[in-house]
Structure 1
């Protein structure tokens, strides 16, 4: 991983942790995925901070999981993206918690 991109991924995870969330990070070689469950009790202020953190990633999203509820995910590229990389990254990121 490039050090600046690793630092960005670590910063996102640290910010989520500071919000009281439990981020999980997985290295996929060309990108890192950071995911966390978002509790129903999340305040509007915390949502604002959460979205600001996610926006620092190369890709991010929210997924509703039947077993885990709402999952926020972020992907940080560790190398130059291929043309079809976006779909592959999104598909890998929100699998840490399962569906």
Structure 2
């Protein structure tokens, strides 16, 4: 299992342990984790959730009056190894 996939699964597991229900999706460039945050979440669970998403490459909180609060995190996949990473048009 790639390290990025393991990291995303670890974050999801930690969010679950904090009392949230995470959704983990694998994409071409990254793995994304989202979890709805209930109003009743304790301060301790908030701390655990924030410590979990802090391990991601990017994370944030979406909050609005229509959909409530969604905590999200993204873990980038490792770039594939290649002999020339300068891209098309710059090859020898």
TM-score tier after normalising by the smaller chain length = 0.7 to 0.9
Q: Matched residue of 1:57: which SS?
A: coil
The separation in 1 between residues aligned to 2:18 and 2:69, in whole angstroms, is 16
Structure 1's unaligned 5+ residue stretches are 81-99
Cα root mean square deviation, aligned: 1.3
- Report if the CA contact (8 A) 2:19-2:45 is conserved: no
The answer to which structure has the higher helix fraction is 1
Higher Rg of the two aligned structures = 2
- Report if the CA contact (8 A) 1:21-1:38 is conserved: yes
In the superposition, the TM-score normalised over structure 1's length comes to: 0.74
The separation in 1 between residues aligned to 2:66 and 2:24, in whole angstroms, is 19
Structure 2's unaligned 5+ residue stretches are 80-92
> 1:26/1:65 Cα in 2 relative to 1: closer, same or farther (>3 Å)?
farther
The separation in 2 between residues aligned to 1:72 and 1:22, in whole angstroms, is 11
Displaced runs of 4+ in structure 1, greater than 4 A?
none
Q: What corresponds to 2:19 in structure 1?
A: 20
